[in-house]
Amino acid sequence: MLRYGLPLWVLGVVLSFALPAVPHWPAVIVLWLGLLAAAWRFRPLWLLCALLAGMGYGVWRTQAALAAQWPLQVVGSAVLRLTVADLPQRDERRVRFRADAVDGEGRRYRLQLADYQLREWPVGSRWQVQARVRPPIGEVNGAGFNREAWALANGIGGIGTVGKVREAMPPPPQARGDRAEILMWLPLWREQISRRWQAPDGQDMALSDGLGLMRALSIGEQSALSAAAWQAFRPLGVNHLVSISGLHVGMVALMAGWLVGRGLRFLPFTPSRPRTLMLVAGVTAGLLYAGLAGFSVPTQRSVLMLLALAWAWWRGSGASVWRGWWQALALVLLIDPASVLAAGFWLSFGLVAALLWVSSGRYREAGRGWHLAAQGQWAVTVLSVVLLGSVFASVPLISPLVNAVAIPWFSWVLVPLALLASLLPWPPLQWLAAAAGEYTLRLLIWLAAQAPEYAVAAAPWPLVCLAVLAAGVLLLPRGLGLKPLACLVLAGFVWYRPPPVGEGRLKAVVWDVGQGLSVLLQTRQHRLLFDTGTEAAAGMAVLPGLNAAGVRGLDALVLSHQDADHDGGFAAVKQAKKPRRLWAGQPAFYAGAQDCAEQSWQWDGVQFEFLRVSARPDGKGDAPDSMHDNDQSCVLRVVAGNQALLVGGDLGRAGERALVAQYGEALYSQVLLLGHHGSNSSSDGSFLNAVAPQYAVASSGYGNAYNHPAPAVQSRVRAHGIRLLRTDRQGALYFELGGDEVLQGRLKTDKPYWQKKPFAD
Integer angstrom CA distances of residue 400 from 213, 379, 460, 468: 22, 10, 26, 18
DSSP string across 567-616? HTTHHHHHHHH--SEEEESSGGGSTT-EE--SEEEEETTEEEEEE---S-
Confidence band for 526, pLDDT divided at 50, 70 and 90: very high
- Whole-number Å distance between alpha carbons of 212 and 228: 12
pLDDT for 622:
43
pLDDT of residue 25 exceeding 90, the answer is: no
DSSP H helix total and E strand total for the chain = 27, 23
pLDDT for 748:
87
Q: Which CATH number fits the domain 506-746, given the four candidates 3.20.20.210, 3.90.1150.10, 3.90.226.10, 3.60.15.10?
A: 3.60.15.10
What is the average per-residue pLDDT within 451-478? 86
Q: Is 67 exposed, middle or buried (0-12, 13-18, 19+ CB in 10 A)?
A: exposed
Confidence band for 320, pLDDT divided at 50, 70 and 90: low
The average confidence (pLDDT) of the chain is 85
Report which of 724, 725, 730 is spatially closest to residue 747, judged by C-alpha positions.
730
pLDDT for 199:
56
pTM of the model: 0.85
Please state whether the peptide bond connecting residue 758 to the residue before it is cis, i.e. omega within 30 degrees of 0: yes
What is the average per-residue pLDDT within 408-430? 86
Integer angstrom CA distances of residue 189 from 2, 163, 296: 43, 28, 15
pLDDT of residue 205 exceeding 60, the answer is: no
- pLDDT tens digits for range 354-392: 777 776 644 444 445 566 666 777 777 788 888 888 888
Beta bridge mates, 80 = 129
Integer angstrom CA distances of residue 214 from 293, 414, 427: 12, 8, 14
- pLDDT tens digits for range 87-118: 888 877 889 999 999 998 899 999 999 999 99
Q: Where are the alpha helices (DSSP H) in 410-561?
A: 415-423, 427-450, 461-475, 483-495, 535-537, 543-548
Q: Which amino acid is at 591?
A: A
- Whole-number Å distance between alpha carbons of 115 and 90: 9
- Whole-number Å distance between alpha carbons of 638 and 574: 23
Most confidently modeled of 31-45, 373-387, 511-525?
511-525
Q: If you ran DSSP here, which 8-state letter would residue 500 be given? A: P
CB 458 within 8 A of CB 143: yes
CB 412 within 8 A of CB 246: no
- pLDDT tens digits for range 287-306: 888 888 777 767 777 787 77
Confidence band for 620, pLDDT divided at 50, 70 and 90: very low
Report which of 575, 571, 570, 601 is spatially closest to residue 585, judged by C-alpha positions.
570
Q: What angle do CA 666, 671, 677 make, to 5 degrees?
A: 110
* 204 vs 403, higher pLDDT: 403
- Whole-number Å distance between alpha carbons of 329 and 638: 51
Report which of 233, 253, 237 is spatially closest to residue 245, judged by C-alpha positions.
253
Hey, do 76-169 and 506-746 end up sharing a CATH topology, with the first three levels equal? no
Confidence band for 128, pLDDT divided at 50, 70 and 90: very high
- Whole-number Å distance between alpha carbons of 599 and 667: 15
What is the average per-residue pLDDT within 307-324? 68
- pLDDT tens digits for range 535-555: 989 989 999 999 999 998 999
- pLDDT tens digits for range 230-266: 777 878 888 777 777 666 787 788 888 878 888 877 7
- Whole-number Å distance between alpha carbons of 63 and 51: 19
- Whole-number Å distance between alpha carbons of 372 and 357: 11
The helix or strand, by DSSP H or E, that contains position 520, with its residue range, turns out to be strand 519-522
The sign of the dihedral angle between the CA atoms of 630, 634, 639, 640 is negative
- Whole-number Å distance between alpha carbons of 209 and 228: 10
pLDDT of residue 321 exceeding 50, the answer is: yes
- Whole-number Å distance between alpha carbons of 205 and 91: 16
pLDDT of residue 761 exceeding 80, the answer is: no
At the topology level, CATH places domain 76-169 in OB fold (Dihydrolipoamide Acetyltransferase, E2P) (2.40.50)
Confidence band for 641, pLDDT divided at 50, 70 and 90: very high
Cα within 13 Å of Cα(158), Cβ side: 31
CB 437 within 8 A of CB 209: yes
Helix (H, G, I), strand (E, B) or coil at 363: coil
Cα within 13 Å of Cα(307), Cβ side: 15
Confidence band for 141, pLDDT divided at 50, 70 and 90: very high
Confidence band for 746, pLDDT divided at 50, 70 and 90: very high
- Whole-number Å distance between alpha carbons of 283 and 253: 6
Q: If you ran DSSP here, which 8-state letter would residue 224 be given? A: G
* 618 vs 759, higher pLDDT: 759
pLDDT of residue 222 exceeding 80, the answer is: no
pLDDT of residue 425 exceeding 80, the answer is: no
Report which of 649, 586, 731, 743 is spatially closest to residue 139, judged by C-alpha positions.
731
Q: Which amino acid is at 269?
A: F
Confidence band for 75, pLDDT divided at 50, 70 and 90: confident
pLDDT of residue 139 exceeding 90, the answer is: yes
How do the domains of the chain map onto residue ranges?
2-67, 76-169, 196-455, 461-495, 506-746
Report which of 561, 560, 557, 586 is spatially closest to residue 571, judged by C-alpha positions.
557
Integer angstrom CA distances of residue 608 from 138, 695, 700: 32, 19, 25
pLDDT of residue 625 exceeding 90, the answer is: no
Q: In what order do the strands lie in the sheet with 519-522?
A: 594-595, 581-584, 556-559, 527-530, 519-522, 506-510, 733-737, 743-746
CB 312 within 8 A of CB 256: no
pLDDT for 183:
55
Confidence band for 1, pLDDT divided at 50, 70 and 90: low
* 748 vs 230, higher pLDDT: 748
